[in-house]
Amino acid sequence: MQRRADPEGEAATARGVARAGSLLAVTSNTAIPFSALPASGAPWWVQVYVARDRSLTVEVLERARAAGARAVVLTADTPVIGSHGRPGAHVADFVGPEDLYGNVTGIPAREAAEHAADLTPDVIAWLGEQTGLPVVVKGVLRGDDAREFAAAGASGLLVSNHGGRQLDGLVPTAWALPEVAEAVAGTGTEVYVDGGLRRGTHILAALALGARAVFVGRPVLWALTVAGDGGVARLLDELTGELAEAMRLTGALSLDQVERDLLWTALPPVG
């Protein structure tokens, strides 16, 4: 739905990402053809909602790989889309097929394109077989799930609560991150995090808690709305600059020196 922010949608976002030297994940629901992305020069991953009709997902994956996607991000926390019990809060109330299906033949029936509700860890291997690409699982909040996904072949795990939009009361990602990182330590499975990252100090804390990298969502949409691809580049450059400053002020000379001991993880004793 990034075309709601800029007429070129994810293609504009990708140009800004390339200018900042970063990467992006592009949803399988985008209205923008994946073939429009390589011109940006940005490395990108395809973020997949596995559909009830898996032939639709296979078509999306084939188009993504042909356009140069470097990994598959499996969103595992949306068997249904949360509405928070409020009428009019469901995303389907605001979008139509023209907003979603830029990489499938024709406009599918909504029922066929709805999220599959029967996913198991076996789908990780299936996605890898379909594409030959690394698979990252998004929506991980528990250590036991992290171990199971890594054992099933996940190359990376994205600690995410879907921006808090799925279920009220979910654990903040900053609280879940250490457990997930510790669960897969030494396995070679990379750990990333998103959710509420707005400053360089937030990123420093995420790295100290075990993340290899962070992802940002809403701020990119805001930047894209205000200033197009230039706004996206500026946002990412400023976050990187703030992270570098925070590292200098905490004495971390390199990313491998950003460790847990930089953080207070509990209130100091009183008296």
Nearest-angstrom CA–CA distance, 83 and 127: 28
Which conformational region is residue 106 in: left (phi greater than 0), alpha (psi within -120 to 50 degrees), or beta?
left
Do 42 and 24 meet the contact criterion of CB atoms below 8 Å apart?
yes
The token pair that represents 263 in the structure block: 């953080």
How far lies 26's CA from each of 74, 82, 103, 142, 188, in Å? 12, 21, 12, 25, 24
**Whole-number Å distance between alpha carbons of 169 and 187:** 30
Catalytic residue among 84, 115, 162, 202: 162
Please state, in angstroms and rounded to a whole number, the distance separating the CA atoms of residues 195 and 198. 9
Structure letter (DSSP) for residue 124: H
At 27 the three-state DSSP class reads strand
Angle between helix 218-250 and helix 10-20 axes, rounded to 10 deg: 10
Beta-bridge partners for 24: 44
Contacts of 222 (CB under 8 A, 6+ apart): none
Annotated catalytic residue 162? yes
φ, ψ dihedrals at 155, nearest 5°: -85, -20
Collect all residues with Cβ–Cβ distance below 8 Å to 33 and sequence separation of at least 6: 63, 67, 102, 103
Catalytic residue ranges: 162
